[in-house]
Chains A and B, each alone.
Chain A
Amino acid sequence: MRAKPRFEQSVFINCPFDPAYEDLLHAIVLTTVSLGFVPRCALESGDSDYRFPHILDLLATSKYSIHDLSRFTGEGPANLSRMNMPLELGVAIGLKQSQSRRKRRWAVMVPELPANPGSNPNAHEYQRYISDLAGKDPLRHEQTPESVIREVYSWLKTLDEVVNPQPNAPDIVTAFPSFQRKIADRKNNALGKSIWADVLTAALEAAPKVNG
């Protein structure tokens, strides 16, 4: 039987799982583990085709969630955009609204894009594709692991269950390349397959440790 992480220490990660985003996902995982939280995501369920029931369970059993809305543009010949991430964000917001006693929190991450010519230079680009988030101050990254660590660290640090004391943010940035190497080694040993448990174990090994 699987061990169940505690609700208060679980952070659901809702982000793209494509190769272009992989480094940023790893940045979220390392930061989350370093601050004592358990990153939960759909990859836990392995290869199963229909993951949504598992995702709903993960959202229900995680007090916190991080939703990256990076993939908001159309892709491929049919110019389709991916709706899974906004859908899961909606579920998280609904859970928070309907279960106020559980004190859930969610954070949205968006990429910081160059301003569109002719648009208001003081406005952020995300306000053009998800204007309902105006006033929510999403976490804005520059699509680099360092900027993702900065944003996730700054958010997780304000949560009640963060480990105290915490490792310094620059130490997490420094540990990131070693974390990536550990994942690559484990992936090679698993014949090229990335296993979520291996990613977690690599994060545990690489996370900067605090002395206390």
Chain B
Amino acid sequence: MKVWTDRDALQAGENWEGTLSGQLNRMDAVIFLIGPDGRVGEEQRDEATAVFRAEWESPKKIPLIPVVTTYTDLPPFLKEVQAIEVSDVENGWSEAAKKIKQTLGAADSTGSVPASGENEQQTRLLEIQRFADSLKAADSREKLAR
């Protein structure tokens, strides 16, 4: 595996946005390392946005592989691929690398693992409909009052 990280590859004064988006078009996967607090930072989310933007014109899907050191509830965009857990942060990285390689192999043959779970969209759309209906009712009441 050839690894690219912005910290090692970017030079001082380089346009990081352009370099990152250029690199993303050549990536087979992006690994997200989540710290012990389980938080996904804003910069990581911005980088995920850049991945989704890169996918737009690309024929391939770029899997996002989360690597966590403790169990955490990941945001939906990091749930498409099974997270790799490194419980032994001192010695567990060789094992993690093997798992990443396996995950990449699986993603090559099948694409990303589809998310499971209930369909939230239907529930949310109903909530938005209720809100739209209440706006409409308020608008009608204002017209009557005029």
The smallest C-beta distance from A180 to any residue of chain B, in angstroms, reads 17
- Interface residue? A33 (CB, 8 A): yes
Residues facing A in B119-136 (CB within 8 A) are 119-122, 124-125, 127-136
- Interface residue? B101 (CB, 8 A): no
- Interface residue? A44 (CB, 8 A): yes
Q: Tell me if B131 and A162 are in contact (CB < 8 A).
A: no
For B79, what are the chain A residues with a Cβ–Cβ distance below 8 Å? Answer: 164
A36, A38, A198: most-surrounded residue (chain B CB, <10 A): A36
- Residue among B46, B120, B129, B136 making CB contact with A137, cutoff 8 Å: B46
- Interface residue? B58 (CB, 8 A): no
B79, B118, B134: most-surrounded residue (chain A CB, <10 A): B134
- Residue among B18, B48, B121 making CB contact with A212, cutoff 8 Å: B121
A195 and B120 contact, Cβ closer than 8 Å, known pairs A3-B134, A158-B45, A207-B125: no
Classify the secondary structure of A's interface with B: loop
- Interface residue? B110 (CB, 8 A): no
Q: Tell me if B128 and A164 are in contact (CB < 8 A).
A: no
Chain B 40-60, CB-CB to A under 8 Å as 1, else 0, gives 001001101110110010000
Chain B 9-47, CB-CB to A under 8 Å as 1, else 0, gives 000000111100000000000000000000000100110
- Interface residue? B139 (CB, 8 A): yes
- Residue among A150, A153, A197 making CB contact with B139, cutoff 8 Å: A197
Q: Tell me if A212 and B139 are in contact (CB < 8 A).
A: no
Q: Tell me if B121 and A153 are in contact (CB < 8 A).
A: no
Q: Tell me if A36 and B136 are in contact (CB < 8 A).
A: no
Q: Tell me if A5 and B128 are in contact (CB < 8 A).
A: yes
Q: Tell me if B139 and A162 are in contact (CB < 8 A).
A: no
A33, A154, A162: most-surrounded residue (chain B CB, <10 A): A154
Q: Tell me if A44 and B120 are in contact (CB < 8 A).
A: no
For A151, what are the chain B residues with a Cβ–Cβ distance below 8 Å? Answer: 53
Q: Tell me if A165 and B135 are in contact (CB < 8 A).
A: no
Q: Tell me if B53 and A197 are in contact (CB < 8 A).
A: no
For B128, what are the chain A residues with a Cβ–Cβ distance below 8 Å? Answer: 5, 33, 38, 200, 204
- Interface residue? A169 (CB, 8 A): yes
For A4, what are the chain B residues with a Cβ–Cβ distance below 8 Å? Answer: 131
For B15, what are the chain A residues with a Cβ–Cβ distance below 8 Å? Answer: 122-123
Q: Known contacts A122-B15, A207-B125, A209-B122; can you find 6 more A-B pairs with CB under 8 A? A: A3-B134, A44-B135, A135-B16, A154-B49, A154-B56, A200-B132
Instruction: Show 12 residue pairs from A and B whose CB-CB distance is below 8 angstroms, ordered by the A residue.
Output: A2-B131, A34-B121, A137-B50, A158-B52, A159-B45, A163-B76, A163-B124, A195-B136, A197-B139, A204-B128, A209-B122, A212-B121
Which positions in B face A, CB cutoff 8 Å?
A: 15-18, 42, 45-46, 48-50, 52-53, 56, 75-77, 79, 114-115, 117-122, 124-125, 127-136, 138-139, 142
Which positions in A face B, CB cutoff 8 Å?
A: 1-6, 9, 33-34, 36-38, 44, 46, 105, 122-124, 135, 137, 139, 150-151, 153-155, 157-160, 162-167, 169, 195-198, 200-201, 204, 207, 209-212
